[in-house]
Structures are given as C-alpha cells and as structure tokens.
Amino acid sequence: MATPGVIVIGSGPAGVSAAEAFRTHDDVRSVRILTEDPDPPYARPPLSKDYLRGDADDVALHPPQWFRDRSIEVVHGATLEHIDLAGCRVVAGGTSFPYAALVLACGARPTPLPVPGGDRALQLRSLADAIRPRRAGAQASSAVVIGAGFIGCEVAASLALQGVTVTLAAPDTVPQQQRLGAESGKRLLGLLNAAGVRYVGGVAVEAIDGRAVIFDNGVALDTDLVLAATGVVPNSEAAQAAGLSVEQSRIVVGADMRTSADGVFAAGDVAWAFNATAGRHLVVEHWQDAIDQGTVAGAAAVGQSSNWDGVPGFWSTIGDTTVGETLIAAGRPAPVPLD
C-alpha cells in the first residue's frame, strides 16, 4: 500500500496553493485535492467582472497538464462528510481517504437571503453559480443587487456596463460605510454612479414576490433579475464535529496554519488565522491571502517552517477602477485611496 501523503479539502486558491507547496517540498508522497466542485480549479475574481460580462470564458487556475506534471490528483464530487482525527482519515463523497497530513481549505458558501421568496435571488460564489446571472444579465433590462460588499458592487457595475438598469440596495447610507467609513463609502458611490448604478441606501429587503423586490420602506421594484450578495458561511461543520477548535464559525489556526490537532492545517475563508505582522487573528476573505495561507499550510504540512506574516488586504475592480484596502497591525481597516 502506498504511503499516505497530503489530503487537501477544497480546490480554491488556498487548496491549490497548499497542494503546490507540499509538492514543492515533497516529490514522493501523494497529493490529492478533494472538492465538491464539479469544475476544474478556477479563479473566482473574474466571476463578478469579466466572466459575468461575457468578456472572458477561461477562468481556470491552471491547465490540466499543470496538475499532471506535478502529480496532483483532483477528485471532483467529493463533499467532505467526516474527519477521523484518531485514524488519520477523511470521508468525502462516500469514500474513505487516509492522510499523513490534512489541509482544510473548505472555503465558504453564500448566505441565503432570509426573507420570503429569498430563494428566488441568484447568488454568486462558484463557477456554476456564475452561469445563471451571466445568461440572465445578457437578456435583462433591469436588475436589483442586494448587498454592497465588494462582490455586490462588482456585480452591479458589471451589469450596468452591459446596459442593464441596476439598483444596488443596502442598509448603509453609502456603500460599506460601516466597514470603510463615510468618506471611502462616498468614493465607492461615485464609482458606482460612474458605471451607471443607482444606489439605494438605508433599506432592507422584506420579500421577493414574483418579479418584485419589496423593501422595508414600502417601495417595491419590478425587475428582471435579482442577485443577493449578502455574505458567506464558512464550511467548518465537519471540523467542529471532529473536535477542532472553531471560533466565529471558522477553524482557529496559528500563523503556521496549524489547527488544534496534530497534522491538520486550515487556510483560506474557513480559517481564523493568526497574522504574525498584525499580531492577532484575522478574517480577510481575499484571494491573495488565501494563496499565501495555503502556501504556508502546504509547506508546514511537510515540516517546513513557515508563517503567515504578509500585510493582509484586498483589491476590487468596480467598473474601470481598481480599489484596495489593507489591514494594519493597529487593528483598524486602513483604506487605500479610492480616487
């Protein structure tokens, strides 16, 4: 029987970078990525921008040959069901897989819109999710996007640039006022307006009834397309059931991405990771930080000394403008100039 190697749960940026880092330091033991996603590993940032607008079709992280050249096996349709810490096994897709090291890069899933008719709103997280709004956006004359986080802003701007009449609705008076402050929110609002988006702040959705989105101020908007960008839920249930330390619905890890169990690591959106530079645990939910954490996890799984110490932050493209934010050691978000 072959010696067990690393099992990586999740085919997003954290999972793929973990697999790559492990293989870089160990060219003998097996590297296997288990994912519930039916599609080959892909980049998510284009889904709300170029892909949504129909300007890009190829969003693959790497061509298939890249994985073959590195002897990295990707198993699709393998939803994580159980983690056996004592037996060093995971059950996914009905199959039991032994491991010498385990990297949990399970990611997160969209938060359903918790109102009557909320299941009628489209969501955007996976490539499969993106197909529906892409097709609908090509045919729609109007759209309502609920939620003004960066995904909501990106989707709204992308649809508007296609000629769709877009209303972006959120509780904040200006986009992301609570997170970034009023001044940065005003700049984001300017970018949205420049793309042709109408922003409606200070409102919440009460229901979706047929084609109508009903707000708590009594206004009802008739629309062709509704998309909810209202946050995510980390996929940490199996980890918690196995007894791993979980806080804020995320797996607690140190700067080396080690969990509370020997030989088990976590990275990306599912992790509540300690950043050595900030000196505290952070939730970032950004592509580059997921890559960085995955690289640390994969190296640590081989026994290499590595820590997540880069200054975390994120970038977003709204219309034709790129904006960014960094998280500094003082513990407060510091927006990069948005103009």
Per-residue pLDDT of the chain (339 residues; tens, 9 = 90+): 467 899 999 999 999 999 999 999 999 999 999 999 999 999 999 999 999 999 999 999 999 999 999 999 999 999 999 999 999 999 999 999 999 999 999 999 999 999 999 999 999 999 999 999 999 999 999 999 999 999 999 999 999 999 999 999 999 999 988 887 888 889 999 999 999 999 999 999 999 999 999 999 999 999 999 999 999 999 999 999 999 999 999 999 999 999 999 999 999 999 999 999 999 999 888 899 999 999 999 999 999 999 999 888 777 888 777 776 654 433 334 333 333
pLDDT of residue 336: 37
**Tokens linked to 219:** 């206004």
- How far apart are the two ends of the chain, measured CA to CA in Å? 59
Cα 265 to Cα 5, 42, 73, 97, 132: the distances in Å are 14, 22, 19, 16, 34
pLDDT of residue 285: 84
Q: Confirm if 294 and 103 have CB atoms less than 8 A apart.
A: yes
Entry pTM: 0.91
